[in-house]
A and B are shown apart, each in its own frame.
Chain A
Amino acid sequence: MNDPAGLPGPNSPIDYHAPTAWLLGTGEDADVVMSSRARLARNIAGFPFVNSASRDDRRHALAVSRQRIMDARLTKKLAWIELHETNHAVRTLLVERHLISRQHAKGKLNRTTGGVDEPRAVAVGTPDEALSIMVNEEDHLRIQLIGSGLCLNDLLRRIDDVDDRIEAGIDYAFSPRFGYLTACPTNVGTGIRFGVMLHLPALKLTGDIEKVKRAAGGMSLAVRGFYGEGSDASADLYQISNQTTLGKSEAAILRELTGEVLPAVIGYERSARQKLLEHRSEVIEDKVHRAIGVLTHARLLSTEEAMDHLSMIRLGIVAGLMPELEQQPINHLLLMVQPGHLQMLCGRVLSQGERRIERAKLVRERLAGVAGS
């Protein structure tokens, strides 16, 4: 960690060069569903919530959580990263890998409280990075499991087990009426949030994406971009998640998502792809091959442009237009073109202008072998 750029050294517990579990391109409905996620919000009884806790309280809650998480035998290997001791570069990598929230990277709970040196941490199950537990974010514990493709049922089963193992050694803040007590009342009750990241390029092309957003809005679901709340969708990736947590069991919340909404949206996207391929195949083929053309020849690439073209290539792959390409390396590139990962690969801090040059170079090199034509 003595690198002047603050980049993770060779002894880093996380291999930032490797793809994470949610980028594998495997699993059910992987032609549309990029990844699934389950998250639990939990607080430790007897402590104030993080936003009103003193620094000593936070330190104490962090120590209790660390002990418990390390003792709970959650995964074979677990990396514990104290974020107040890391630098900006490492925190950016963790955000881009969906292991911590932007808020947790900043350490700020709202405009007035907190800061980068607030005691807080993340535990990450390695090497797959499927499990991550943010400590002292908005709640004492934010337990997250991510998997490739549509796998919410499996995630619920597994996160339930992780939750039990942690609770075996600490008391959670729980009330008979309100369930698991959380700092923000929008998470109270089960404290669970399910989310899926969907690749919807055809709905975007046909303009029907707005209908999906509207339909989802009417069903207490939120549609958000690639990097969560407040971010625009790039690479035609959209997240859909439940918005209510009180008054329904975990299984009922999951059923609402997987029983009606998701199959419908997946079905829309598939039929939009089918229609486009049947009636406007030259348009799709043109877009896909243009994307290959740009990415294999461009000298300057912004993150958004790279992601949008990678999205088209991904569509070409799952639609069977590019038999020579596989999904996973393209998914992996979606991560590697992000500013933090790009700087890590280059081994130094880059200005925005330099990033565009290096990004174009990286994408050219990675695609050269596979998309020569």
Chain B
Amino acid sequence: MLCECGLREATIHEVTITNGVRVERHLCEQCAQKLGLPLHQQAPVSEILAKFVSKQGAQSVVGPRKPTAAQCPQCGLTFAAFKGTELLGCPTCYEAFEVPLSPLLERTHEGGTHHVGKVPKRALEASRLRGPEAMEKLLGGLAERQARIGSLRKQMEDAVKGEQYERAAQIRDEIRRVSSIAPSEPRAEREPPPENPEPGGPNPHSQEPPRS
């Protein structure tokens, strides 16, 4: 089978499904690359990791960046050891290696950089009672929350650009939910308050009736 360009044999066969409509494309590698279609299935973590680690090495030659802990202060894991096992040693590793982990996480989670979703229920209720400091420890400070909402906004804009309006609306709801979890509405936050604030605390699922 020939590619859409009519010049070369099609080697990439892509099926996309958008709102139930199936689109088939048959392309040569050159055209596929031009269109930005993935040539292979999602790379395994080890590959992403390998690329990432070598890139980090190259950067450190150019000049010092934001300092990174050589070792986790809690469990003593080094980032090189993590590279070998792909497993972190303890919860503190996430803080200790936040800088080198961030780009890796972003790639692994397709742009996801900040947690969105459930917050431990009892911990949330307990910190509500204990006051703003406890809440901040659990949910992060103003900057943290804004980063989370910012990342959602970006997703929403992308959805609008891609004319995925239903998805955009869903992300907007998500932004409202995230905003509603915050202890007090940050002043810089221009997002409208949630229409149905949860009386018993924000369980992210409870506003979402199961769809069949």
Contact = CB atoms under 8 A, between A and B. Distances in A.
A249 B111 contact: no
Contacts of A156: 205, 210
Contacts of A87: none
A203 B202 CA distance: 43
Contacts of B42: 217, 220, 222, 243
Nearest to B111: A247
Interface string B193-210: 000000000011100101
Interface string A146-172: 000000011011001001100110011
Nearest to A220: B110
Contacts of B144: 176-177
B151 A247 contact: yes
B118 A160 contact: yes
Contacts, number: 198
Contact of A28 (B120, B148, B212): B212
Contacts of B165: none
Given A52-B90, A154-B210, A177-B147, 11 more contacts: A48-B74, A156-B205, A167-B120, A167-B122, A179-B115, A185-B105, A186-B45, A190-B118, A246-B109, A247-B110, A252-B170
A255 interface: yes
A165 to B, nearest CB: 10
A215 interface: yes
Interface string A171-200: 111111111110111101110100000000
Most buried by A among B14, B118, B147: B118
B74 to A, nearest CB: 8
Interface in B158-191: 170-171, 174, 177
A283 interface: no
Contacts of A52: 75, 77, 87, 89-90
A261 B15 CA distance: 11
Contacts of A213: 41
Contacts of A185: 86, 88, 101, 104-105, 108
A217 B95 contact: no
Contact of B212 (A110, A153, A189, A251): A153
Most buried by A among B85, B95, B120, B212: B120
A157 B108 CA distance: 26
B114 A250 contact: no
A246 B113 contact: yes
A264 interface: yes
Interface residues of B, number: 70
Most buried by B among A47, A167, A189: A189
Given A174-B138, A215-B16, A247-B151, A252 B174 contact: yes
Contacts of B123: 167, 171-172, 174
A273 B60 CA distance: 56
Nearest to A247: B112
A48 B212 contact: no
Contacts of B121: 164, 167-168
Contacts of B54: none
A22 interface: no
B29 to A, nearest CB: 14
Contacts of B24: 211
Interface in A103-157: 109-110, 138, 153-154, 156-157
Interface string B70-103: 0000110100000001111111001100100100
21 contacts: A52-B77, A110-B85, A168-B122, A171-B120, A172-B123, A176-B139, A177-B148, A178-B94, A210-B13, A214-B15, A218-B14, A218-B37, A243-B42, A244-B112, A246-B105, A247-B109, A248-B116, A249-B174, A251-B208, A267-B20, A268-B22
B17 interface: yes
Contacts of B131: none
